[in-house]
Amino acid sequence: MSTAATTLMPPRFSSAADVSALTGLSVKTIRRRVKDGTIRGVKLGRRVLIPLDAIDRPAPRADDYRPQTQEAPPWPPSTTRKPDPRRPAGSSP
């Protein structure tokens, strides 16, 4: 009787300093992202352990988070002035 043996790989974890070196982000940024939930991680005392599969997945594109811009008004603004109804026509300012 033969059965297929399945071997489960243990999860790979790394410290915030190691993830910082892998990603190019500062340790403080890694800790901040774990705290706000952007990166999965577990805090054990003062140590933060981050599963490496959270780092291996592709990051969202920056374009996904850029605010949509509205068309800017023409520049320079129009230089024509509306006539002042309090001044008589033809008088200079």
As a whole number of angstroms, the distance between CA 39 and CA 51 comes to: 9
DSSP state of 50: E
What pLDDT was estimated at residue 6? 67
Q: What average pLDDT does range 17-21 have in this prediction? A: 91
Q: Tell me how far apart the alpha carbons of residues 55 and 33 are, in angstroms, rounded to a whole number.
A: 12
pLDDT band at 49, cuts 50/70/90?
A: very high
Q: What is the domain partition of the chain in residue ranges? A: 13-59
Beta bridge partners of 15: 49
pTM: 0.50
Separation CA 41–CA 33 (nearest Å): 9
- Tell me the three state secondary structure of residue 91: coil
